[in-house]
Amino acid sequence: MSTAMDEEVLLCGFDSPVDDSGRAFRALLNAMAHPGTVFPVLGPKEHPALLSDAASAVLLTLCDYATPVWLGESLDVAEVRSYLRFHTGAPLTDQPARAAFAVLDKGFEPLGVERFSPGTPDYPDRATTVVVEVERFGEGDLARLSGPGIETETTLAVTGLPLSFWEDMQANNAEFPLGIDVILTVPGELCAIPRSILIETH
C-alpha cells in the first residue's frame, strides 16, 4: 500500500554535484568580483517550479547544514523546502535575521533590508545573503554602480524589482562594512550587488 511519502517525487539536483557546483561557484565568484555584470550559470536540470535554475544553483552550491535559509512567503512551500533539505541539508528558519541565505520570488514588495542580519562590526561576514528572483536583465529600472571590482562605473537595468529596491540598497550599502549582499537571478544568469559598492539611480 503506497503512502504520500512513497508517491512524492523528489527532484534531482546537479547531475555531477562536485563539477556542477564548482562551475556555479566560479560564476558566483566572478559575479561578486564584478558587481553589476551578468554572468551565465548552469543550474540543475530539475528544480522546483518556483525557483529558477540559477537560484537553485546558488542555493545548492552555497548552502549546507550550517547555513539557515529563510524563504519568502510565496516560496515557503513543501516542494522548495524538501528540495533544499534533501540536496543541501540546510535548516530552514522562519526568522529572516537568523538566515545565512534568504530567497525572494519575483513580485516581492518590499525588500525589507532591516529584517535581515547586517552582520556585526567583529563579524561582518555573518550578514545575510539575499537571492532575489527577477524577470530579466537589460531592461527596466536603471542604476549606476561604482566601487570595488568596477573600473569606473557600470550600469545595470533590471525588470521585476519593486519601486523601493534601489533606495533600500542605497541605505544598505551606506552602512558598509555591515549590510546584506544581494544576488539577482533569472533563468541561466546571475548578477551580484555586494554591500561594498556605491549605487546611483537615474
Domain of residue 115 covers: 4-194
**Residue-wise pLDDT tens digits, 100-125:** 999 999 878 888 999 999 999 999 99
CATH number for the domain including 106?
Answer: 3.40.50.11310
| Single pTM value for the model | 0.93
Identity of the residue numbered 49: A
**Residue-wise pLDDT tens digits, 23-53:** 999 999 999 999 999 999 999 999 999 999 9
| Total of domains in the chain | 1
Residue 29 inside a domain? The answer is yes
Residue 40 inside a domain? The answer is yes
- Determine the Cα–Cα distance for residues 181 and 173; give it in Å rounded to an integer: 9
